[in-house]
Every structure is written in structure tokens, then in C-alpha cells.
Chains A and B, each alone.
Chain A
Amino acid sequence: MTVTPARSEQRRARSQAADERLRSLWESATSAGDVPATGVALVAVGGYGRRQLSPQSDLDVVLLAGDGYDDRALGDLAESLWYPLWDDNVALDHSVRTESELRSAAAADLRVALGVLDLRHVCGDPALTLGARSLILTDWRRGAKRRLPLLAEHTRERWRRVGDLAHATTPDLKDAHGGLRDVTTLRALLASWLIDVPAAELERLNVQLLEVRDALMETTGRSTDRLVADYLAEVATRCGHPHPDSLRSSLMTTGRAIAHLASVAMRNVDWMLTPARASGPRRPVLDTVASGVGAYRGEVVLSDRARPASDPLLGLRAAEAAATRDLVLTDAAAARLGRELAPLPTPWPAEGRALFTTLLGSGPGLVDVWESLDQYGVIDAMLPEWKRVRHLAPQSPVHHFTVDRHLVQTCVEVAPLLGRSVERPDLLVTAALLHDIGKGGDGDHSAVGEPIAREVAERVGFRSADVDVIARLVRHHLTLVEAATSEDLDDPATAERVAQAVADVPTLELLAVLTEADALATGPAAWSPWRKRLVETLVERVRRHLHLHTVDVDGPSTRSKARPRRRAAG
């Protein structure tokens, strides 16, 4: 990420200019002598409190009065400060509070509590600001054990709602997992003295995100945090990136790093709140969940018997154990696997294949485990083809995620559908992971992806007939939707063409589930009741066609199963 010193300086200069404006207004308001000079102060909070005022940011200020300050004088002072700013169309986020009101508001509302942790004196009585700041920090530290669980709950709810910054096609620079709000949350954890966060690293990442957010605000001329595709090119230029993809890639790296710090910090909050054992050994006692793999307090770790350098299946065992139990694969375990794990032999042994497909079909637990493995290079070692799609922006605006995240999400969406009449879930989840692997180059990605998927499936150790099915699923993963929405379903030739592509009923059933999971993982628009109905109608007709006919996948002809064998052969 290119960070312009000038833009950092501009944030500081903007804050400085705002300070000066407020001081000048304060001077005018208090010089007449009607307002007592002690016991009242104007303080900056939030981003303005941190001297990080972005081009379109609100001016977050609190007019703070000591308890017992004259109400009427306080009201007059507030009016003489706010009105000139309103007249100048300054976006002002203001409040007037006594010291005890401010503490009560912070005690009642977590967002207020986080905002006032950055409280900074602007003008007025500095002793009042100093005292208030000290009390607010003391309150925060004193109540942290009680309040951090709620903070963790709100944070995780926001992550669920907004998603990951690194994998979103339209990243929300503020509220996404890995966005600026996570930075604020991490600062609050740091201020609690209960959770450690690498502060210098956090600030470096924060400045990188602010750089993009400021450039976005400069581009749009308004206060916005969503980097929509229309603005990407201009924001990239403003940030000194030669190409939008370079901005996207560096933004994803930053978002991923912040998300990682935030996830680790939230797990530490969970840990801190888990009561220590009253009796028994003080050292951690692991539940062995697989050879060399243990579970401890909601996390999967490598045990002292783990030998990654001589045990190529250890990574898959640890990942499968974490994902199927919905546990976290620890950072230390993923990092060690990345450093030491022996490469898998080619083809993979049957146990490796079974672990891999169970991992892919494990459901929502897969997402974080895959992300951890990918961060430390374990995926690259196992699946070098993943580089093609990592952080790749999709071409269609219908897509919700980047291509790599979409592939993982398709596996997640497949998991609950495996109960249907699917004979080979292992082939289905492998095809789900690989169906868009051909993206990122020229040509039809289904056609490009087919030989890549074939190569991966062979390496994973599937037998030849299974490799053919996986390759066919990848080649035809759009066939059902395309045929259902653009061809005449009443024309028997449509069902016949699709039947030719899928070859047999078991493959058709796999393709039907893959089509649904792919659409569900794409975004809400891709699996409307309208599309679902069309695809289901087509599948029913193709199924019927396949039941009545034998399909020759190498040629266009079909023959009726009802015909006598002698004639069919002829």
C-alpha cells in the first residue's frame, strides 16, 4: 500500500485547522467575561480526537462542564460555538455534557465509551479535560471484564452482517471485518490493559486504510466508506497505484491483517472470560482429536507429538478437526504448518483425500480454517492453482465475494445440500472448490478450468472415472442456469443437449446441487425463486430424458432405452 505522507499530514492539518477555528470561537464567546473560564472545556472525540480528520469527516466535539456549572451560561456558550459552524455548513456532531453525564453515557453505551477513549483537549479548562480523561480511562479499565463480552458480541455480529473487507467486491472500509471500526475496537482493548494488541503494527495498518478512505472521500466529495467499483480506478490513481487491481490487492492484504488481529483479540477476550480450572494441573490439558492434533479451550493446536516435517497429512488432519468441530485453528499451529509441513506425495493417499473432502464439506467452520491455512502458505503448498484466484475481483457485479472466497463459500453452501440424493459428496465438494478455478485469464472460465480441475483431481488421487466427473462438473457448472434462462424448456432438444453434457443421472444430481450452491454463494440476486423454478424444471426434464435414453457423451446421438438391443447397436 502506498502511503502518501502528504495525506497523513493533511489529516493532522485539518484537525489543527479545526482546533484553531474552535479556539477562535471560544475566545470570542468567553472574552466578554459573561462565561466563567474555569470548569468548562471543549474536547474532541473519535477520529478528530486522534487528530485523524478525513476530508468529509464530522467534527465530533463535546462541550464538557464540571458538575455544578451554570446551565444557562453553558447553553449560551454552546450556541455561540455551534451556530457559526452551522452557518459555515460544517458537519458537526456535538453534545453538551457534564463530567458525570459523560461518564454515565459512556457506561450505558459502548459506542460512546469507545469514542470518548480518544478524548482530547481543544480549549477551555485543561484541568477539567485531564480529570475527565483520567476518570473515563479508569472507568473503562474497571468495567472491562464486564463490558468486553458485549463488545465481542457486537463486533462478531457486525462481522456477520457486513462480512470481510478482504473478500468483499464492494468493501466497507469502516464496518467490515478488517475495517476501521475494528481498529477502534482494538485500541479500546489495548486501553483496557487486559488484552494485548501490537500497537505499532495496528497504527501502520490504520494509516494504510485511512489513506484509501481519504482518497475515496476526495473522489466522491462525500462521507462514504463503501469502495464501489465505479470509484476504484480514480481512488487507485489518487493512492499512487498504477492499476485498480494493485489497489485492491494491497487493500485486501491490509484488511486481512487487521481482521486477523481483531479475530485473535476477540478469541483472547473469550479466553480471558473462561474461568480457570479450580483443580488439576496448571499446564494446559489437550483433548486429542487426531494424531498430533489436540483441542484446548475452543482451539485446535498441534500437540507435542506433532511432527509436521515428516507427517504430510498433519495439516489436513488439523484443518479437518477444527472445521468439523467449528473450532479455531490457532495462529501458531497454522504458522508452524506453513513453515514445516512436508509436501503431500502425488497422488495423495486415500486418507489425505478423505480428510480433504471432509474438510470441504464441513460447512461454515471451513471459512476461518481455510483463511488461516491460506495466510501461512499451507494452501499454496497443497493447491498451487489457488494463486490464480486469490483476491481476484469477479467480473460480474452480481457477485458478493472475491473469487477465492466465493469458491470457499460454495463449499459452505453445498454442505447442507449434501443430504439430497447425492451419491458422491466427495466429488461434489471438490468440484465446488474448483468450479471457478479457470477465472483470472482469457477465455471461457469453465473451459479453462476443466483441465486445471482435472489435474488437481488426479493429484488428489481420485480414480480416473471420478476425475472425469469432477472435470465435467467444472466444465458445465453454468450449463443448467444458462440453458434454463435462455433456451426453450418446452423444446425436447434443450433437455437432450443438457443430458449430453451431464451424461448420466448421478452427475446431473451433483450438477443440480452445485448450481444451487454456486448461485447461493454468489449473492442474493443469483438464486431468485424465478431462477430456481426454471432450473428445477430443466433438471426434471433432463432427468426424465436420461431415464428414457442412454447418452453417448462423445457424440450427439441418443438412443431410446426402450429399443431392442439389436436395433440400438445397429
Chain B
Amino acid sequence: MKLITAVIKPHKLEDVRSALETFGVTGMTVTEASGYGRQKGHTEVYRGAEYDISLIPKVRLEIVIEDDEVEDVMGVIAKSAQTGRIGDGKVWVTPVETVLRVRTGDRDASAV
């Protein structure tokens, strides 16, 4: 099993959630997050005005899935979160040793 973590723009959450649901991913953890990547120190120009960008609001998604779904889920997230502009976010994958569903005691695949 793998943990997929994605940091995306807040307004893309609904698009990503709905695309993942269509794909069959029904559960996820969503957290309000702030951060920056390559745009650190970047100054945004908007209608002639300059904005200093430091910590930018993002949302962080966490999804645990089976190994064979990793590429597809990453693709779904990337496609639905993309605006083509700087700051679209990142997706990364980490291995998960085991999962326990608290209510039933189910483990691993049946707990996901």
C-alpha cells in the first residue's frame, strides 16, 4: 500500500475530489496547509500591482491506496489540479507498512 500526499491550490479541491470519486477513490483526509515551492520570493503582478508572496494557502490531501493504483491516482490528481500556472502543487508517494480500521479491526487492503 502507498500513501499519496498531494498539495494543491484550494480552489482545485472540488475538481480533484470529484475526479477521484469518479475513479473510485472515496476516502481522503483534507487539511488546510500553507507553504511555498519554487515560487519562493516570487512577486506576483496582478493588474499592475505587485504582490509579495510568502506562505501561500494550499490544501493537502492524503489518500491510502493499493500499490497498483498509484500511477492512475497520481494521474487523476495531476490532471484535475492543473491550471498550468506556477504554484499548482506537488504529489508524492510514500510506502505504508500497515493500515487498521479502528471500528472493525480490519487490516490492510480491507481497511482501505
Chain A hits for B51, CB < 8 A: 537, 540
Whether, in the assembled complex, A489 has its beta carbon less than 8 Å from a beta carbon of chain B, the answer is: yes
Complex Cα spacing A533 to B44, Å: 16
| Residue of B whose beta carbon sits closest to that of A528 | B32
Partner pick for B9 among A488, A492, A528, A529, CB 8 A cutoff = A488
Count A-B pairs with CB separation below 8 Å. Answer: 38
Interface bits B73-112 vs A (CB < 8 Å: 1, else 0)? 0000000000101000000000000000000000000000
Chain B hits for A540, CB < 8 A: 51
Q: A528-B32, A529-B34, A531-B32 are in contact. Are A548 and B47 (CB under 8 A)?
A: yes
Chain B hits for A439, CB < 8 A: none
| Residue of B whose beta carbon sits closest to that of A494 | B11
Chain A hits for B49, CB < 8 A: 544
Contact between B11 and A544, CB atoms less than 8 A apart? no
Whether, in the assembled complex, A354 has its beta carbon less than 8 Å from a beta carbon of chain B, the answer is: no
Binding site for A on B (CB under 8 A): 9-11, 13-14, 32-34, 44, 46-47, 49, 51, 55, 57, 83, 85
Whether, in the assembled complex, A490 has its beta carbon less than 8 Å from a beta carbon of chain B, the answer is: yes
Chain A hits for B55, CB < 8 A: 533
Contact between A541 and B46, CB atoms less than 8 A apart? yes
Whether, in the assembled complex, A485 has its beta carbon less than 8 Å from a beta carbon of chain B, the answer is: yes
Contact between B46 and A488, CB atoms less than 8 A apart? no
Q: A490-B85, A529-B34 are in contact. Are A534 and B47 (CB under 8 A)?
A: no
Contact between B11 and A487, CB atoms less than 8 A apart? yes
Complex Cα spacing A565 to B52, Å: 34
| Residue of B whose beta carbon sits closest to that of A483 | B11
Chain A hits for B33, CB < 8 A: 530
Q: A530-B33, A534-B10 are in contact. Are A492 and B57 (CB under 8 A)?
A: no
Whether, in the assembled complex, A103 has its beta carbon less than 8 Å from a beta carbon of chain B, the answer is: no
Chain B hits for A544, CB < 8 A: 46-47, 49
Chain A hits for B44, CB < 8 A: 490
Complex Cα spacing A490 to B85, Å: 9
Complex Cα spacing A521 to B51, Å: 30
Chain B hits for A528, CB < 8 A: 32
Contact between A533 and B11, CB atoms less than 8 A apart? no
Q: List 15 A-B contacts (CB under 8 A).
A: A485-B11, A486-B11, A486-B14, A490-B44, A490-B46, A490-B83, A490-B85, A492-B47, A530-B57, A531-B57, A533-B57, A534-B10, A537-B51, A540-B51, A544-B47
Complex Cα spacing A541 to B57, Å: 16
Q: A487-B11, A488-B83, A530-B57 are in contact. Are A545 and B32 (CB under 8 A)?
A: no
Contact between B83 and A533, CB atoms less than 8 A apart? no
Q: A534-B57, A544-B47, A548-B47 are in contact. Are A486 and B10 (CB under 8 A)?
A: yes
Known contacts A486-B14, A541-B46, A544-B49; 9 further A-B pairs (Cβ under 8 A): A485-B11, A490-B46, A529-B34, A530-B33, A530-B34, A530-B57, A531-B57, A537-B51, A540-B51
Task: Identify the interface centre among B9, B13, B32, B83: most chain A CB within 10 Å of its CB.
Answer: B32
Chain B hits for A486, CB < 8 A: 10-11, 13-14
Contact between B47 and A488, CB atoms less than 8 A apart? no
Task: Identify the interface centre among B9, B11, B34, B83: most chain A CB within 10 Å of its CB.
Answer: B11
Task: Identify the interface centre among B10, B44, B51: most chain A CB within 10 Å of its CB.
Answer: B10
Contact between B34 and A533, CB atoms less than 8 A apart? yes
Complex Cα spacing A508 to B9, Å: 25
Contact between B34 and A488, CB atoms less than 8 A apart? no
Interface bits A502-534 vs B (CB < 8 Å: 1, else 0)? 000000000000000000000000001111011
